[in-house]
Amino acid sequence: MATAGLLYAGYRYLRSKATDWTYYDGKVVWVTGASSGIGKELCLQLVKRSEVKLVLSSRSEATLNGVKAELVEAGAKDGNIAVVPLDLGELETLVEAVEKVFDCFGHIDLLINNAGISQRSLARMTSFDVYRRLIKIDFEGQVLLTQTYIKKLVESGRSAHITFISSVAGRIPVPFRSGYCAAKAALNSYAATIRIELELEGHPIAVTVVSPGGVKTAVSKNALNKDGKPFGEADAVTAEGMNVAECCSQMICAISNKVDDFIVCSSLERFACTLFTHLPLKLATRVILPKYKRYLSETLARVK
């Protein structure tokens, strides 16, 4: 019995290392934040390797239409890609946005809550409006979309999958990102809780949380500064971060295997996550701070 258990665990482990592209075939996947960075790259990789239908969302309709053209050029059928613009910061519009997304193909099999905005500012100098915006976009908007989606799923009885693109910053304290860390940590707790509730009630809805470390995208340029303006430049963690194609390929693999909680980052970031999980806070901080000396001193100078 024990041997069979071990063999099964080994089989599951090996399978979780390979992408099951058939998981995506025929599925309708809704990607928020599809206009750039991680969201756009996820869409490109999905259309190149599987027969998905995609709904692309973010604020900029023109940019999304440009992404749609790129996806069609990469091999997707025009009729398989829909665009539904939405602004996560405008909470009162989101229930209607979910209806519009359902109208595209009749249902959604996989929601990838990827849209988000980061922060680069000292907590003591940050306008309270910046905290409000971060919580609205990175937490409240995601919860409202997800809750509206789940209500529709429960009515229909369909099985489905919800993915949250969270962040290593939701697991460990990252200076200059106090509001972003808090929003992503809240999202992690929400996701972990709804996963249990859905299972308790017997709803066939999987929940995956993906936590990337630094990835080379425009996230740092678009991050809010203390006054709510774009930070405008790449900090060291982002500029020297993981290649977006590699990051998305690992995410697609984890999602296809319905991994509950997946961290995709450098070995140093993984080390930091391990320290903050297992050591007293003070000790973990003492060990990790010297390793980020350059990021900390350069960014401190920029945010003041």
- Check residue 241 for interaction with ligand NAP (CB under 6 A): yes
Whole-angstrom distance, CA of residue 267 vs CA of residue 286: 18
Q: How far is the CB of 50 from ligand NAP (least distance, A)?
A: 21
Amino acid at 220: S
User: What letter would DSSP give residue 136?
Assistant: I
- Check residue 126 for interaction with ligand NAP (CB under 6 A): no
Q: Which one of 131, 149, 180, 295 is the catalytic residue?
A: 180
Whole-angstrom distance, CA of residue 59 vs CA of residue 90: 10
Whole-angstrom distance, CA of residue 166 vs CA of residue 211: 5
How many residues bind ligand NAP (CB under 6 A)? The answer is 32
Contact flags string 66-95 toward ligand NAP, x per CB under 6 A: --------------------xxxx------
> Which residues from 152-211 bind ligand NAP, rule CB under 6 A?
165, 167
Residue in 59, 203, 270, 302 binding ligand NAP, rule: CB under 6 A: 59
- Element containing residue 2 per DSSP (H, E): helix 2-15
Stretch that binds ligand NAP, among 122-130, 201-209, 215-223, 270-278 (CB under 6 A): 215-223
| Residue nearer to ligand NAP on the CB measure, 20 or 87 | 87
Whole-angstrom distance, CA of residue 216 vs CA of residue 234: 9
Reduced to 3 states (helix: H, G, I; strand: E, B; else coil), residue 122 is: coil
Whole-angstrom distance, CA of residue 29 vs CA of residue 262: 19
Stretch that binds ligand NAP, among 13-21, 30-38, 199-207, 253-261 (CB under 6 A): 30-38
Determine whether 180 is an active site residue: yes
Stretch that binds ligand NAP, among 34-42, 44-52, 94-102, 146-154 (CB under 6 A): 34-42
Q: Which of 196, 101, 205 is nearest to 158 (CA)?
A: 205
**With contact defined as beta carbons under 8 Å apart, do 216 and 268 qualify?**
no
| Residue nearer to ligand NAP on the CB measure, 174 or 198 | 174
Q: How far is the CB of 111 from ligand NAP (least distance, A)?
A: 14
- Check residue 56 for interaction with ligand NAP (CB under 6 A): no
Q: What distances in angstroms separate CA 270 from CA 119, 167, 234, 264, one per listed residue?
A: 21, 12, 21, 8
Q: What distances in angstroms separate CA 236 from CA 214, 215, 243, 294, 304, one per listed residue?
A: 9, 11, 14, 8, 17
Residue in 28, 29, 38, 104 binding ligand NAP, rule: CB under 6 A: 38
User: What letter would DSSP give residue 50?
Assistant: S
**With contact defined as beta carbons under 8 Å apart, do 164 and 208 qualify?**
yes
Q: How far is the CB of 202 from ligand NAP (least distance, A)?
A: 30
| Residue nearer to ligand NAP on the CB measure, 179 or 212 | 212
> Which residues sit at the interface with ligand NAP, rule CB under 6 A?
32-33, 35-39, 58-60, 63, 86-89, 114-118, 137, 165, 167, 212, 214-215, 217-219, 222, 238, 241
Residues classed as catalytic? 180
